[in-house]
Structure 1
Amino acid sequence: MTQVSLEIEDHLKEKQVEVYLTAKDTDDRLAKDKVGYGRVLEGFEGEGEIIPVVVKKNITYQTIEGFGGAFTEAGAYTMSRLPQELQDEMIEAYFDAEKGNKYRLCRTHINSCDFALGNYAYVEDEKDLNFETFSLERDHQYLIPMIRRAIDVCGDELKIFASPWSPPAWMKTTGKMNQGGQLKEEHRDTWARYIAKYVHEYAKVDIPLWGLSVQNEPAAVQTWDSCRYSAKEERDFVRDHLGPVFEKEGLDYLKLIVWDHNRDYLFDRASVILDDPEAAKYVWGVGFHWYCNGNFENLDMTMDAYPDVRLIFTEGCQEGGPHIGEWCVGERYGFNIIKDLNHYTAAWTDWNMLLDKQGGPNHVGNFCSAPIIADVKKGKLLYQSSFYYIGHFSRFIDVGAKRILCSTCHKDVLATAAVNPNGDTIIVVMNQTDDMQSVRVRGVSDEVFDYQMPRHSIVSFVVKA
C-alpha cells in the first residue's frame, strides 16, 4: 500500500479510511488496514498509471435488501455430521454481525431439491386434498434445526424466502418429481393451497417466511426435482391461484418472486407476467440465476420498463464439483455481485452454504462448490475464496443501504459503492488482473485516497460518516 502523488496536509493526517483486503497468494483474508487521505499534487490529476474510482453520493439507486445463501437439506445434513464446535463456527462465520459475513437474507426449498438426500414431499397421498397428512417431519431432521441456529444468532433480522423445485409427484403430468413435467391443471389451486399450508406450518415452528418464489428454474427439464411453466402458465398461476390464495389466507405480505431462472430470458419472461396488471399486483420481484452469459442489460431493461419491481439474485454456484482452493471461483462471485449491484439488483443470495468434500450430498450427482466445504473425516472447515469475496459485500453493505454512482475506467478493475443507513460509505473494488493496480478514490469528500491493489484481489473501503 502506498500514497501515490498525494500531498498530505496537517488536517488530513488523522483522517483515515478503513480498508479490508483479500488477495491471492497471500494470507490476507478480509485483512484490516487503514489508508490516509490526501490532495492530488498539481500535475498529477491525469496520471495514467492510477485508475480512478469515482463515486457520487448524491446520485442514488436501489435500496439493498441483503445478502445471504441457502439452507438446504444437503448443507444441514453435512453440518449435523460435524462436531458441535465446528457447527458453531460455521453458523458464526455466516451470520454473526461482528465476526462473520452477516447474512440477513436466505433461501430454502419447499419439498426436496437436488441438494437433498432424496425426493420427498410433505403430502404423499394423492387423495389427501385437504392436507390432513401434511408433515414437516423430514425437514425437522436436519433443515429446520439449521435454520433455527441461524435465527438464534440473527433474530428477526433474518429474512427467509422459499422456493419449490417440484410439486409432489401426484400433482404432475409425469407422475414424478424429477425430469421436468408440469403441474396438472386440476391441481393448480391444490398446489397454491399446499404452498400456503407450508408457510403456515413453518410459522408454527417459529420460522416466519419473508418471501417466496413461484418455481425454481421453470424453463428447465432437469435430471433432478423440476417443473416447467411457460411464461403464460406462470402468469396465470400467480394471477388466478397463488395470489388469490395468499390474499384469502392472510399471506399477501409475502414478497412474491417470479422467474427465478437465468438472466438471459429475464426480461422476456418478466414482461409477460408484469404486463398483466392482475398478475403484476401480486409480484414483488423478479429472481434470477447466473448459469448463462452475462446478459446484465436485461436487468436494466426490466427496471426501465417496471421501475417498481425489485431484482433479486436467487441462486448461483460453481458447478461441476467442489473446486477446493480455486481462486477463480471467488472472482466469479465478485464479478457477478458487482455487475448485478451496478445493474439494479437489490438482494443477492448464494446457493449452498455448506457441502462435503465431494460437493454434495446431491441425490442425482449434481455436485457443486460452496463457500465453506466440510472435511467430515478430519473434522475441518475449508473456507473457499468465494466465502471471502461474498464477505466483502455482505459484511459492510447493510440492509437498507442505497447504492450510489460508482465508476472505473478499467474493464478488469471493477467497483461498486453504497451508503449505509448510518451514513458510512462503502466502496468495493476488485482487481482481477495479473498485475498490481493503483486506484485513486475520489468523490466521497473533497479529498481523495490512493491504494495499491495486489494482483487478483478485492478490497472494501469503509469511509465513516
Structure 2
Amino acid sequence: MIARAVYTSLLLFSSAGAQQIWDIWVTEYDQSALFQRQTWSTPINFVSPGDIGQADIVVDDGTVYQDIDGFGAALTDSSAQILSSLKSQNSGAYWNLLGSLFDPTDGADSAALSMLRVPLGASDFSPYAYSYNDEEDTSLSEFSLDAAPWYLWNTLYDIKSIAGGQLKIIVSPWSAPGWMKDSGSMLGGTFLGQYTDTYAQYLFKSVQGFANKGFGVYGITIQNEPENNNPTLPSMLLDADTEANIASKLRSLLDNGGFGYTKIIAYDHNWDQAANYPVQAINDAYDAFTGAAFHCYGGSVDQQMSFHNAEASKELYFTECSGTLYTDWWSDIKWNMDTLVIGSLSYFSRSAMFWNLALDGNGNPKLPGASSCNNPGCRGVVTVNDDGSYTLNQEYYALAHGSRAIVPKDPGGPFGQRIGVSVGGYLNYELQVGAYKTGRSTSENTDWNRYSLVVLNWQDGANGGSASPVQTTIKFRDQQATYSFPVGVTTLWWFAEN
C-alpha cells in the first residue's frame, strides 16, 4: 500500500494542476466492507461543472475553521491490562492490533489514532483505588507515578513506539488523593479548598512525572466530571471557582517548570452544562485555561456552540463517550459519525475520543464495586477475546474514518483543519459531511494540500424503500467530480495547489 501511495503522489504531482480522487476508504452498513480501501484503474477527475447529482457537496476551502488535533480513546488501567495480557498470550496479535490502531504511515491500513487520554490515578476501570500520593502529606514527599500498575507504562511505551511523534496525551484525574476531600477516600466526596495549592503541585508533579518517563503531556484537565459524585468509584465534586483557582496555580507552575506547552483544559464533563460551568471557570482564570472539554452523557452535541459562542477564542475538545455492549452495529455507526466524528468537529471540537481503548467481551475488568457501566456494560474501541484474538468494534471504524481525513500527509507535517462545506440536491438530507484541509511540510510539496471529505450516507431504507447509494457531485474551485456514496461511511481525498 505504501508503494501505491508513493506512485499515486508522483502521478498527481506530474499532472499539471489536475485534481483527481484516487484514495477512497469505505465502511458499508451491512459490514460487507470495513474501512476498506477501494481499488481504481483510473482516477475520478474534477472536470467542468455540469448537472448536479442527487446530492451536491460544495467544498469551500476559503473558509477555514479550527485545527483538528486528532481522534482516540482512553488508555485506562483496564485497557492496559487487557492489552498487556494479549501481548503475553499472542505477541503477534498484540503488535498487529497496535499497528491497526496507531500506525501513522500514510496509506497504511490503520486508524492512525493520534490521541490518548490517560487517567491520573485510579478510575472506575482500575484494579484498585489509588492516587499518586495516598499518604496525607502536603509536601507530597511520597508522590510516585509507580503507584499505577506497571502494565500501564509498558503499554504506553509500546503505543508510543508505533504512533511516534504525532501522539498527543491528555491526562485527567478522576479524584484528588482522598485526604484532600471531605470523604477521606478516593471514592466520591467534595474537594477541600484548603488543599488548592497542594493539589496544583500534585498535578504539576504528574506532568513532570510523565515527562520523566518519556511522555510529554499535551493537555491536562483539572478534574474528570467535576459535577459527578459517586461513592462507588473515584470521583469528586469540584466547583468552577475552585477549579479556576487550581488552574491558575498550575499554570504558573507549568510555565516556570518548563512545561509552558502543556494545555490546561476546563470542565471535562457533559454537554448540558456547556454554557455554565466551563464558561464560569474560564472567566475566573482566563489566561490559565486553553479551552474546555466535553462528554456525551448529558445534553446534545449542538450545546458545544453555547461554549464556543461565549468563549470563541478558546479551544474545544470532545474527550469521552462510551460504546454500550450488545447494541446494533449500524445504528451505533450512524450515531457516532453524525454526533461525534463529524458532528462534534462541526461544532468546533478539535478532537473526538471514546472511553476505554480495549476491554474484554463483558466490558471488564472494572474497579470492584463500581456502579458505572453496568447492565449491560461498556464496550471498548476493541474487544480482546479470551483466545488471544481481538475484534475491532464500531467505535474503531468511526474513529478510523475521521482520523484518516486529518492525519499528516508528511512525516512531522501539520494535522488537518476543518473547512467550509455545504450539501445541496434533493437527497441532501441523506448525507452528513465534514470537510478538511491538510497542509504539507516537505519542501517539494509546499504548493499542494490534501482535501478530504468524511461522508455518512444513512439512506438505509429504515423508513421505507431500500438501502441505496446517493449519486453525488463534489464541487471544488469551479470544478466538479462525481461519486456514488454507498450506504455507510466514506473517507476520500484529493490534492490541489495551495
Using the size of structure 1 for normalisation, the TM-score is: 0.89
Q: Distance in 1 between matches of 2:193 and 2:315?
A: 29
Structure 1 match to 2:433: 415
Match for 1:132: what amino acid? S
Select between 136-145 and 93-102 the one with higher mean Cα deviation. 136-145
CA contact (8 A) 2:358 2:380 kept: yes
CA offsets 1:144-163 (integer angstroms, 9 cap, x no match):
11110111122332111100
- The reply to whether residue 428 of structure 1 matches residue 454 of structure 2 is yes
- The reply to whether residue 30 of structure 1 matches residue 61 of structure 2 is no
Match for 1:461: what amino acid? L
- The reply to whether residue 79 of structure 1 matches residue 83 of structure 2 is yes
Structure 1 match to 2:337: 334
CA contact (8 A) 1:289 1:314 kept: yes
Change (3 A) 1:310 1:91: same
* DSSP-derived class of the 1:415 partner: strand
Displacement of 1:142 after TM fit? 1.2
Q: Distance in 1 between matches of 2:220 and 2:243?
A: 14
Match for 2:192: what amino acid? K
Structure 1 match to 2:354: 350
Structure 2 match to 1:287: 293
Structure 2 match to 1:8: none
Change (3 A) 1:324 1:271: closer
Residue 300 of structure 1, aligned match among 290, 294, 305: 305
Structure 2 match to 1:187: 195
Q: Which runs of 5+ in 1 are unaligned?
A: 1-10
Residue 438 of structure 1, aligned match among 467, 470, 479: 470
Q: Distance in 1 between matches of 2:182 and 2:471?
A: 57
Q: Which runs of 5+ in 2 are unaligned?
A: 1-15, 408-413, 441-448, 461-466
Change (3 A) 1:14 1:271: closer
CA contact (8 A) 1:438 1:450 kept: no
Displacement of 1:86 after TM fit? 1.8
- The reply to whether residue 309 of structure 1 matches residue 314 of structure 2 is yes
Select between 340-349 and 439-448 the one with higher mean Cα deviation. 439-448
Residue 234 of structure 1, aligned match among 243, 247, 250: 243
Map 1:117-132 to 2 at 5 A: 117-126=127-136, 128-132=137-141
CA contact (8 A) 2:247 2:264 kept: no
Q: Distance in 1 between matches of 2:304 and 2:234?
A: 27
Identity, % of aligned positions: 24
Change (3 A) 1:151 1:295: closer
* DSSP-derived class of the 1:188 partner: helix
Residue 142 of structure 1, aligned match among 144, 151, 157: 151
* DSSP-derived class of the 2:422 partner: strand
Match for 1:402: what amino acid? Q
Displacement of 1:198 after TM fit? 1.5
Q: Distance in 1 between matches of 2:299 and 2:120?
A: 28
* DSSP-derived class of the 1:155 partner: helix
Residue 323 of structure 1, aligned match among 308, 320, 326: 326
Q: Distance in 2 between matches of 1:143 and 1:231?
A: 31
- The reply to whether residue 95 of structure 1 matches residue 102 of structure 2 is yes
Change (3 A) 1:214 1:175: same
Structure 2 match to 1:270: 278
Q: Distance in 2 between matches of 1:148 and 1:105?
A: 14
* DSSP-derived class of the 2:405 partner: coil
CA contact (8 A) 2:30 2:330 kept: no
Change (3 A) 1:439 1:285: farther
Residue 71 of structure 2, aligned match among 57, 67, 89: 67
Residue 219 of structure 1, aligned match among 214, 227, 230: 227
Displacement of 1:325 after TM fit? 6.9
Q: Distance in 1 between matches of 2:268 and 2:454?
A: 26
CA offsets 1:232-287 (integer angstroms, 9 cap, x no match):
22223323x333333443333210000101112112222212323xx110111110
CA offsets 1:119-173 (integer angstroms, 9 cap, x no match):
11121211x3222222223435111111101111223321111000001111111
Change (3 A) 1:188 1:38: closer
Structure 2 match to 1:451: 483
CA offsets 1:180-222 (integer angstroms, 9 cap, x no match):
x111122121111111111112211112211101110111123
Structure 2 match to 1:361: 365
CA contact (8 A) 2:25 2:490 kept: yes
